[in-house]
Amino acid sequence: MKAANNPNLGLALFDFDGTITTADTYTKFLLNTTPLYRIVVGALVLSPFILLHKLGRYPTAKLRPRLTFFAFWRRKVASTKRQVNNFSAKFMDSVILDRALTEIRWHQTQGHEIAVVSANVNIYLAAWCRRHQVNLISSELAVQKRRKNERYTGKYLNGDCSNEKKALAIQSQYELANYSHICAYGDTQEDMPMLALANKKYFQWQEIA
């Protein structure tokens, strides 16, 4: 969606978990949409990585794809999407910050382009973004087609959309030089490369240099 050349055009980039929401939602999403046997097997196999993560010695950006693989490997696309959409419809609005929605609405009244840029998987965030009329840049699950069935491979098409990959994904979607002002909102170190693209940066809702 390369933008047309418009010197007055603005762009607003929002991280999702912890920025638009009150806290991490991806863990709860996985626990509520993953079959129990997968949770048990995944917890056993990944326990060393989970422990290292809790000790601060294994980054979220590496753990997240492992958790995602166990949750989605070989699951049917159609039935999984229905389950995910049902969870999202019931849960998502309960964790959205009023402040974030107010900011999104303000950018919309100004005619700015708006994108949620998240390491969460696309099937989880797509419905919410459509409902609020914002674009989505996120980790994307790969799909394998076999005859009439489509199943998730459990892997990402372009890797985990965090850290530098957030910035690269934004640059592949938007011609940043065409925007006169860019605002970016994040809450963790994973968001810093995205914030570096902006001339107005907000970290945990505080403007930073």
Residues of the chain with pLDDT under 70: 1-8
Q: What is the 3-state secondary structure (H, E, C) of the chain?
A: CCCCCCCCCEEEEECCCCCCECCCCHHHHHHHHCCHHHHHHHHHHHHHHHHHHHCCCCCHHHHHHHHHHHHHCCCEHHHHHHHHHHHHHHHHHHHECHHHHHHHHHHHHCCCEEEEEEEEEHHHHHHHHHHCCCEEEEECEEEEEECCEEEEEEEECCCCCCCHHHHHHHHHHCCHHHCCEEEEEECCHHHHHHHCCCCEEEECCEEEC
Triad 193, 27, 97: Cα angle to 5° = 65
Beta carbons within 8 Å of 73's beta carbon, 6+ residues apart? 152, 153, 154
Per-residue pLDDT, 154 = 97
Q: What sign does the dihedral 2-7-9-11 (CA atoms) show? A: positive
For the stretch 122-155, pLDDT in tens is: 999 999 999 999 999 999 999 999 878 899 999 9
- Per-residue model confidence (pLDDT) at position 6: 60
Amino acid at 199: N
Does the pTM exceed 0.85? yes
Indicate the CATH number of 10-208 among 3.40.630.30, 3.40.50.1000, 3.40.50.300, 3.40.50.460: 3.40.50.1000
